[in-house]
Structure 1
């Protein structure tokens, strides 16, 4: 029998929020009774849920005491204002805004949530990377990780996706270079690659690169040295990574591939002879993390290369959030 749990979802009308709604509907563990919240601009909108239309309520002024879990799929500035309100109401808070403070724990399925009141959803790239490498870490200590993260425009929201679409149509229609408007990216993103995701910080890294590194280490539970480079690519959905790892002992690519295939959260598509490998398009709307191109790095001893792909909205946030809600519900029942 499904466990009933009351869930407030702030940001229900956004890209991530709507994906969370779909995963809540599909859950085989919980029967979520949701309250959909958003800004006043979205108040009164209808969100489909289990064959019905639920009316969106304003986030401002909402009393969180009537729910068990509050999910925030909102910008960091909005979360900074309302997460403390939900926390002070005694509600378990799951925050996908990217905001973190001293009271926040980075969490995923399997994390100990008993003492945490605010759990931050890790960056989708960090979650995908940790999901893959934790399967290897159980057999060999990872001494170093280098990853280049290819971020889709959906990572910056729906308006950013719309900008990619408009620019692509305009350029294909004959507009010259420099003739398109850049509102959500520092430069033209269509038919381009931008080596900046987030703001530049004092260490030369961007906010996204620092967050991915921090979240990855939190998930791994160990100070694994990691170097992150993050770029925007002209795609809509799906975060991809080209990863190089160095281990404390030699492992053949076949051994590593077998470890990855044994994981319940990973799908390995790696058949070079048949030209089979994962892509962002193939991972779209899927809840798994995909791994391909597992191979030895001949330039450095005990090193391997991997290709990791996941739907940043579904696998990277929504699935993780709902699995944690399920974990809270089961814990409540126990």
Structure 2
């Protein structure tokens, strides 16, 4: 059985009375999930249940066209309510899993009503008054939530990378990161998943010919070096996000260059990361550091299959690290392979972890 993060490792329950006191202390959070019918929203509900988040009351919201849609929360079935008319007064936290436009309209309303917003869109990530948080990396940043009553969730490709980088940075200080991503179609939402599925079928059955417009080129049996819009310097916005967010979360002095690629994988982002340090870091020590790092699972055997691929990480909470090895082309360099379920760590899980951190450090009940 998975230990709830709300269960203290120091806590023992020798008596029923003490157990009841503990339960009373941790219960009482009123949670809203906004965008509950989407992939990330549904995953948020799954993870809240799996991690035994102390929920006293929960509401699930969606746009008017999805009102009444049923979603699951543990053994309960919930019906979505209208986001446009919902009153956030009296609710503790709202996990937003909608696009930037809807977030721009509704997040400030929730925040003004006293409900702390944990936002999965890109809208507030670069706002200096909004903390950008990965709990394994910078949990103390949640304390800055009160400036706007909003906490931002990072980009999915950034989230898994910084989990791998931070413990190594603490040991040897990172100067430069070169990363190439291999990002699944679920990062583009349900439409991305549908397009890969339908396109693959149409290749095998040309009669079933559909128009495809989610991606700029064929995604089935192909890779596309283009995610989000192009910027003036030739990089894409996805690549820019990885640069800016890594600096905000870990260290503004880290130099980052990224190439982000969409690949025909349904769920799970992979990254090949090259790291240059200020000090020498031996690959064996790096492996040991990562084995002890929060949120990281090292699977690194130098044999056939001794590494993790995207299909193996689906449904798991961990960020998996493989292929740790020295880079002999520079004085202080390492290479590693990083894989994670983007719908979990890259989105829903990280948002729930932020809620856990906020509850434990700030909004203590009881």
| Alignment RMSD | 1.7
The 10-residue stretch of structure 1 (31-40 or 280-289) with the greater mean CA deviation from structure 2: 31-40
Using the alignment, how far apart are the partners of 1:226 and 1:304 within structure 2? Answer: 15
How far did residue 102 of structure 1 move? 4.7
Describe how 1:220-299 pairs up with structure 2 within 5 A: 220-299=250-329
TM-superposition CA deviations, 1:194-233 (whole Å, max 9, x none): 1110001112111111112111111113321000110110
Q: Tell whether the 8 Å contact from 2:39 to 2:189 is kept in structure 1 after alignment.
A: yes
Q: Taking structure 2 as the reference length, what is the TM-score of the superposition?
A: 0.87
Q: Post-superposition, which runs of at least 4 consecutive aligned residues in structure 1 deviate over 4 A?
A: none
What is the aligned partner in structure 2 of residue 192 from structure 1?
Answer: 222
Secondary structure (helix, strand or coil) at the match of 2:144 reads: coil
Q: 2:355 aligns with which of 308, 311, 325?
A: 325
Alignment coverage as a number of residue pairs: 332
Match of 1:107 in 2: 133
> In the alignment, which residue of structure 2 is the partner of 1:132?
164
Task: Tell me the distance in 2 between the aligned counterparts of 1:219 and 1:37.
Answer: 30
Matches within 5 A, 1:1-334: 1=23, 2-100=26-124, 101-109=127-135, 110-116=139-145, 117-174=149-206, 181-330=211-360, 331-333=362-364
**Any unmatched runs of 5+ in structure 1?**
none
Give the Cα–Cα distance (whole angstroms) in 2 for the partners of residues 333 and 246 of structure 1. 41
SS at match of 1:104: coil
Secondary structure in 2 matching 1:137: helix
| CA–CA distance in structure 2, aligned partners of residues 45 and 285 of structure 1 | 24
Q: Note the C-alpha offset of 1:115.
A: 3.1
1:83–1:173 Cα change, 3 Å: same
TM-score by length of 1: 0.95
Given that residues 120 and 153 in structure 2 are in contact (C-alpha distance below 8 angstroms), is that contact kept between their aligned partners in structure 1? yes
CA contact (8 A) 1:146 1:245 kept: yes
Structure 2 CA distance, aligned partners of 1:196 and 1:277?
Answer: 26
More strand by share: 1
SS of the equivalent of 2:198 reads helix
> 1:252 & 1:274 partners in 2: Cα distance?
23
Cα offset for 1:108?
Answer: 2.1
